[in-house]
Amino acid sequence: MSSPSSPPDRATLLESLRDYVEQLREEGLEGLPASTTPAPGAIAKSTAPERAPRVPIADSPKLEVTPGPSIELISKYPGLEKTSTLEELRDFIGECTRCKLAPCRTNLVFGVGNPNAQLMFVGEAPGADEDARGEPFVGRAGQLLTDIIERGMGLSRSDVYICNVIKCRPPDNRNPEPDEVAACEPFLMRQIDLVQPRAIVGLGTFAVHAILKIKTPISKLRGHWHELRGIRMMPTFHPAYLLRNPGDKRLVWADIQEVMKFLGMPIPRRGGSAT
């Protein structure tokens, strides 16, 4: 007859308790103390490939490695991996009917900007103005994003690349549903692969959750670097949120300054509309 197993020692119990607390914190439970240990897999240097004529990167900040979508997404649509330019990708998508949003849209909203941009902005889905014009971020929230780029960062909107997780407007501006994300996500990943930016700014809760496959509140994700397909990603609040909560513009400006530091860009004493 086997002897009963011995109870777990104190160190094992403490480790289990620590893991449980970390899980609660990731699920957004308020009132928990901040973690004192670095995120698993945190690294200090970027592994993103260099491409001329890029601005030299300053010292790389700590990176939180978050499980992201796998490259197998691209194989969902045979031939997608063979697209070698954004124009070819747009032709591949065509007048898409791959999800139930197709009958609701006026225009498919693909993306705009520099195909070799160092910086990419990714939102969640087109709104009414975007659907009407076929271009992302052209309404009130889009004007605020343009101000952040041009007045705050000192860039032209055409210097960066702007797109959304979803390419068609959901009815009544509701959040995209899981099957719609699944249908569109391979196209976003291919856009990222083709542009190969040095940094991505994820705009808003839905976009960041859809891309990183996590549910941590955006208030806890913003301000911290994450990794997506070997590229650094900075989550921040969506411009539409800032229209309702202008007091948080300072937080977005802080996030944008971290992006500028990473890209080796000079930071003005006073930013534009993001301050």
pLDDT of res. 10: 55
Tell me, yes or no, whether 45 lies in a domain: no
pLDDT of res. 43: 26
CA angle 241, 210, 165 (to 5 degrees): 75
Tell me, yes or no, whether 22 lies in a domain: no
- What would the DSSP string read from start to end of 169-237? PPGGGPPPPHHHHHHHHHHHHHHHHHH--SEEEEESHHHHHHHHT----HHHHTTSEEEETTEEEEEE-
pTM, to two decimals: 0.75
- Tell me how many domains the chain contains: 1
For residue 234, list its beta bridge partners.
201
pLDDT of res. 181: 94
**Phi, psi torsion values for 226, nearest 5 degrees:** -125, 175
pLDDT of res. 99: 96
Tell me, yes or no, whether 211 lies in a domain: yes
Q: Domain of 130?
A: 60-262
Instruction: Map tokens 């890029």 to a residue.
Output: 54
Q: How far apart are the first and last CA of the chain?
A: 72
Tell me, yes or no, whether 271 lies in a domain: no
Tell me, yes or no, whether 238 lies in a domain: yes
Q: What is the pLDDT along the chain (275 residues), one digit of tens a residue?
A: 444 444 445 554 444 454 444 444 333 333 334 333 333 333 233 333 344 344 333 444 556 655 444 456 667 899 999 999 999 999 999 999 999 999 999 999 999 999 999 999 999 999 999 999 999 999 999 999 999 999 999 999 999 999 999 999 999 989 999 999 999 999 999 999 999 999 999 999 999 999 999 999 999 999 999 998 889 999 999 999 999 999 999 999 999 999 999 999 998 875 444 54
Tell me, yes or no, whether 142 lies in a domain: yes
**Phi, psi torsion values for 12, nearest 5 degrees:** -65, -40
Tell me, yes or no, whether 136 lies in a domain: yes
Longest dimension (CA), the chain: 77
CATH code where residue 221 lies: 3.40.470.10
